[in-house]
A and B are shown apart, each in its own frame.
Chain A
Amino acid sequence: MTPPTDKLIQMYRQMLAIRLFEERVNDLYTRALMPGLAHLYIGEEAVAVGICAALTNEDYITSTHRGHGHCLAKGASPRLMFAELLGKEAGYCKGKGGSMHIADPATGNLGANAIVGGSAGIATGAAFSAKYLKNNRVVVCFFGEGALGQGLLYEEMNLAQLWKLPVIFACENNMYNEYTHFSETTAGDILGRPAAFGIAAEAVDGQDVRAVHAAATTYVERARRGEGPAFLLLNTYRYRGHHVGDIAREYYRPKQEEQHWSSTRDPIMLMSSWLLEQKHADQATLEAIQAELTSEMDAAVDFAVNSPYPDPDKVGQDVYA
């Protein structure tokens, strides 16, 4: 079933917001305004947006080191995101978490995690709570295909299926475990892994936000009905390097491959063409969205750049609740 026009436009808008956000992260990082590391989500926007559009605000997500897109798609404010990325007091975590640890109870974001696969337990535990407390919530555990190498994931998949917990394991296969093609690290058929636990699983074109949304809706609602977890394999592509500084990439993947994905498989381009073709929107509407988001993102960057750093006296706060 095709979602209503406003929902389709909203998904387009959200993908574009993530793209514009990440382009500014790249800029801030290369201008040395952002400390640490920046793992960009550019190219993968349809995954976070399609899935989060199938969730309520009360539903939970866990995210990854490449998590800006998940957090924004779940409703995070770009201002507070940028502030956190720059290590500012106004940021989501008061500057204590940074790019890889954005967390926000108000939008059901249990936190981004810098241990690959590290949030599988948290997501499954949140799903356990949802079942125990009967609050009808669903949890999405985002992880990259690199996490397929972590044992914890399989312990959690076993527990989730055993206890029919409402958790969706969303495997974003962007094809590269850092600087290594996943075929060099991953034996057998990926979908055979959830199948071994009896978990409902499906491969989805991760560049097609409508396909992602449709699949996510099916399995989220199934989980909400108490029918247990699901595993979505979202085939996508990381346009940029593992992190912003990963520029010379030809030793692990050809430029043509990158060009192929960005010129023919771009999720934002695919969606805008479809919206225009199906007359859900005209060019002027899409341009207005772009203009609006551009000024919103620029203002958010200004806010973050001009925000103060936390007072060093606060370093010892929040260690214990």
Chain B
Amino acid sequence: MPETATSVREISFGEAIREALAEELRRDKTVLLMGEDVAEAGTTFKVLKGLVEEFGTDRIIDTPISEAGFAGLGVGAAMTGLRPVIDLMFGDFLTLVMDQLVNQAAKIHYMSGGKWKVPMVLRATMGATRRSAAQHSQSLHAWPSHVPGLKVVIPSTPYDAKGLMKTAIRDDNPVVFFEDKISYTKVKGPVPDEDYAIPFGVADVKREGRDITLVGTSSMVQVALGAAAMLEDIGISAEVVDPRTTWPLDEKTLVESAKKTSRAMVIDEGYFRYGVTGEIASVIQEGAFYDLDGPVRRLGAMHVPIPFSPSLEDVTVPTERDVFELARKMCNK
């Protein structure tokens, strides 16, 4: 939070995203929103509620259920003078837009020798524990992070979500913006009235500490903060670092924090195997090896399709207790 903020309100993660979109729509007539049930319905999650009343159906556009179709249309629109924000109701539907995202949007600037640009934002949701089963619960942010040409945003707080959404819309590259579904209403926080934007590739230390670095992304930042409070009770001072964008990645802040605390754990809601935790852990390992007391540890989603039954689903995602137990072990307490 900048100290210069004169007026600050407590709003939800979802409201922060809506505010960012509304302000950008007001500022720039080339910005438009497109997706399934984004207009009158305001999306399944009601995040866009009210936008169509202000901006009309020319700019808040309901589409057929054709994810590849409207994502591809967004790529062409972005190349030719618009700044479309494409709404992907569930992040699981990334599978349906992969060619448009990976082979088209991500590569057009490079393949054209820098001549064409694709200033498009693809909003996608993420996050399990909503009892939505295997096709509506995944956190697939590692996938676009793997592809050169894409930028990937994964905010955890209302303040970050609003400031990063503005940067995403103003960026001249395709940006995939992941929004945790449970955070929409559950996570609230202070957001200033003034216009602000948060640059990509700048991690945020959500809590300072001395003994261990907990790197968390999206919903796992709240989990890490909860675990940090528990750890404090047993005399362990945990630092919580949120990279905020998986690409570009603020390697420096991650490495510096790990050097300072000498221990690091990475917590992410994506699948554990070949995912974000592996990448961040290796960055820390390579950068802070001689300052570490032990290997960087990781917690991610279990390597199973996300199950439906609450008793099964709840064990697939890292919890505050999991983080607490692992951190305690790493600190030998």
Contacts and interface: CB of A to CB of B under 8 A. Distances in A.
Interface of A: 60, 62, 91-97, 101, 103-105, 110-111, 113, 115, 118-130, 132-133, 135, 139, 151-152, 155-156, 158-159, 162, 317-321
A110 B73 CA distance: 13
Interface in B80-111: 80-82, 84, 99-100, 103-104, 108-111
B68 A118 contact: no
A156 B69 contact: yes
B111 A93 contact: yes
Given A60-B80, A101-B111, A121 B73 contact: yes
Nearest to B106: A319
B303 interface: no
B270 interface: no
A60 B81 CA distance: 13
A318 B114 contact: yes
B149 A319 contact: yes
Given A155-B66, A321-B117, A110 B111 contact: no
Interface residues of B, number: 42
A128 B73 contact: yes
A44 B79 CA distance: 28
Given A128-B82, A319-B110, 12 more contacts: A60-B80, A97-B113, A103-B112, A125-B75, A125-B76, A125-B79, A125-B84, A126-B79, A128-B77, A159-B64, A318-B110, A318-B113
Contacts of A129: 76-77, 80-82
A155 B64 contact: yes
Contacts of A115: 99, 103-104
B113 A96 contact: yes
Contacts of A104: 115
Given A129-B82, A321-B117, A121 B112 contact: no
B70 interface: yes
A156 B73 contact: yes
A118 B115 contact: no
Given A96-B110, A115-B103, A126-B77, A110 B116 contact: yes
Contacts of B64: 155, 158-159, 162
B119 to A, nearest CB: 8
B66 A158 contact: yes
B226 to A, nearest CB: 35
Given A122-B75, A125-B74, A125-B75, A111 B69 contact: no
10 contacts: A92-B115, A93-B115, A94-B113, A111-B111, A125-B75, A132-B77, A139-B76, A156-B72, A159-B73, A318-B113
Contacts of B71: 121
A13 to B, nearest CB: 27
A122 B113 contact: no
A194 to B, nearest CB: 15
B32 A132 contact: yes
Given A132-B77, A133-B81, A152-B99, A320 B173 contact: yes
B234 to A, nearest CB: 44
Nearest to A108: B80
The 9 tightest CB contacts between A and B, nearest first, are A121-B72, A125-B76, A155-B69, A94-B113, A93-B113, A318-B114, A122-B76, A103-B112, A321-B172
B79 A159 contact: no
